[in-house]
Structure 1
C-alpha cells in the first residue's frame, strides 16, 4: 500500500534460535530502559499452554502489519518449554476468504462467532470494522493481556471507544486524521509505539514488529526478545525505545518546490487543489480537500 492509499483508508474510516544481540554502546542506556519498563510492566505467560494470539483481518488488510508481528510471535523459542510460546490464528467477521493488500487471499481460521478467546489481539490497517466486529474487539479485550493495533489499524481500535481518553499513535501520515476524528485520544507524534494498560498502538508498518517484540519482552524477558530479533535478522532497535520515531514528531515543512497536503503533511495529488485568498493549497486525498474547503481559515494559517 502506498502512502496515498494508506491515507485514503484512514480517511474512509470516518471522515467521508540465535544468540543474543550485541548492542552498540550508544544503545546501552536504551536497552537498560527497556529492561526497566519490562520489570515494571511484565506479563505472565501460562505455564502449561501457549498464548493465543488473534489476528483480526478484513478486506484490504495491510500485509506487513499482521505478517510482521506474526513472524515475531511464531519465531519465539523457549528452550525446555513444553508448549509453543504463542498460538496464532486469523479471525474475520465471516469465513469467506479475505483479500488483503496486493491481492493476497487469506481464508480465516475462525470467525468472530467461534474464535478461541485471545490473550493478544493484533489489528492491522484494514477496512472499517462493522458493529459486530467492534463488539467482538470490546468483549475480547476485557480478558486480553494486550490488544494492539498497527499503523491505521488504530482507527479500527479507536472506533470501539476503547482508546477514549488514552494516548495512542498511528502511521505518521494519519496523525491529523486520528486527532480530528477522535479528539479525546491523545495522539502521540514521533512514537514507535504507545502502551496504555492492556491497549497498545504501533506506528506505521514495521512498527508492528517492534511492538510485537516488546510484547515478547513483557512475557519472556529481553533476552528472549533479542534472540527472536536476531533469529529474524531484524537489526532495528525500535522495540527498545518507544520514542524512536522522533523524525515524525514535528510536521513536515513545505517548500515552494515541494508542496505538501494542507491537512496532513503527506505527499500531494496535484489534481486536488483549492485556492483561498489567492494562494493555492494541495491535498493528498479528496476527503482532505473537502475538509479544507469546509473551513479553509482553520488550515490556511492566515
Structure 2
C-alpha cells in the first residue's frame, strides 16, 4: 500500500457537491488552555492502531511522551503509553512491521490522551470506542490523515482541523462541516487537536507536553531527543503547504491530491479537451464522477 492510499478511509463516505474554499492557517483558533496533570500517577495515553498505521505518525509522539521528565517527580513515568486495537490480534503497519496491541477496545484502560495516526479503519466498533473514550479524555489528537478518522467519528464537526497536505481536497469534500486549516502545523480546539502530515505529530506531542507541564519541560524533552524542529512553537509553521501547486504539461500533478505523477505510467482522463493524470485509479474515479470539484 502506498502512503497516498491512506487518504481513503475504508468506511463508505459520500462526497460533497462542491469543493469548499480552503481556509488559511492565519485564522487559527485561539491557543488552547493548559491541561491539568494528575496530582500523582501517570497520564494514560492510548495509541489507536489498525492495519496500515504509519510508523512516524504514532512512533514520533510515542518517543516524545516517553522522554518527558518533570523536575521533582519520582513516581514512575510521566505518561503511561499503550496501544489499542479492534482486537488484540497483530496489526501490520504501513511498511510491514507487525505490532501486537496491548489492549483491545473491549478491555483498554480509559485514556486521558488518545493518539490517532493515519491508518485504515473499517470497523464501526472502533469509531464507537473513539467517540466514547474521547468524552472523558483530556485530549484526542490525530496525525496526518488520522484526521479523516476523527472527522468520520463526528469529533470534528463544527471545528477547525489540519491534515496531510496531499489530502486537502478530498478532506474538504468528505467533511464539509469541518473547517480545514491549510498550512497549519497543528490545530487545537477544545479537547481535540489535529496535526499535519507525518513529522507534524512530533510537534503536536511536544505542544501537548507544554500544555500539561509548561514550556521548560517541553523544551527539555526536545533537547533530550536531539529534536531541533521548532514547529511546536508555531502552529502556522506549515505555511509552505498553504501555497497551491500548479500542474503543468512538463510537471503534471494529480488533480485530486496535487502529487507528482508519471505521465507514462499513470491513468488519465480527458475533460474539456485537456488531459489529466492521476496518481492512482481511485483518484481517477473521484475526478471522473465530478471533474468540476477538482478544477
Report the TM-score when normalising by structure 1.
Answer: 0.88
Aligned-partner Cα distance in 2 for 1:211–1:177:
23
* Structure 1 partner of 2:174: 181
- CA offsets, 1:5-44, max 9 Å, x none? 222221244469xxxxxxxxxxxxxxxxxxx94xx61111
Tell me the residue number matched to 2:3.
6
Kept in 1, the 8 Å contact 2:9–2:122? The answer is no
Q: Which residue of 2 aligns with 1:296?
A: 291
* Counterpart Cα distance in 1 of 2:281 and 2:228: 38
Distance 1:102 1:256 in 2: 32
Q: CA RMSD in A?
A: 1.6
2:9 and 2:148 in contact (8 A); partners too: no
SS in 2 for 1:142: helix
Deviates more, 1:290-299 or 1:188-197: 290-299
Q: Is residue 162–residue 187 contact of structure 2 (8 Å, CA) maintained in 1? A: yes
Aligned residue pair count: 276
Equivalent of residue 53 in structure 2, options 13, 38, 61: 61
In the alignment, structure 1 residue 273 sits paired with structure 2 residue 265: no
Q: Is the 8 A contact 1:154 1:169 kept in 2?
A: yes
Displacement of 1:102 in angstroms is 1.4
Q: Does 1:82 align with 2:74?
A: yes
Task: After superposing the two structures, state which structure 1 stretch, 117-126 or 6-15, moved more.
Answer: 6-15
Mapped to 2, the partners of 1:242 and 1:171 lie a distance apart of 14
State the secondary structure of the residue aligned to 2:8.
Answer: helix
Q: What is the alpha-carbon distance in structure 2 between the residues aligned to residue 232 and residue 188 of structure 1?
A: 29
TM-score for both structures, normalised by structure 2? 0.90
Runs of 4+ in 1 over 4 A off after TM superposition: none
Q: After superposition, where does 1:59-138 map in structure 2 within 5 Å?
A: 59-83=51-75, 84-138=77-131
Any gaps of 5 or more consecutive residues in structure 2? Answer: 15-29
Q: What is the CA–CA distance in structure 2 between the aligned matches of 1:112 and 1:257, rounded to whole Å? A: 49
What SS class does the counterpart of residue 55 from structure 1 fall into? strand
Instruction: Classify 1:129/1:112 alpha carbon distance in 2 versus 1 (closer, same or farther; 3 Å).
Output: same
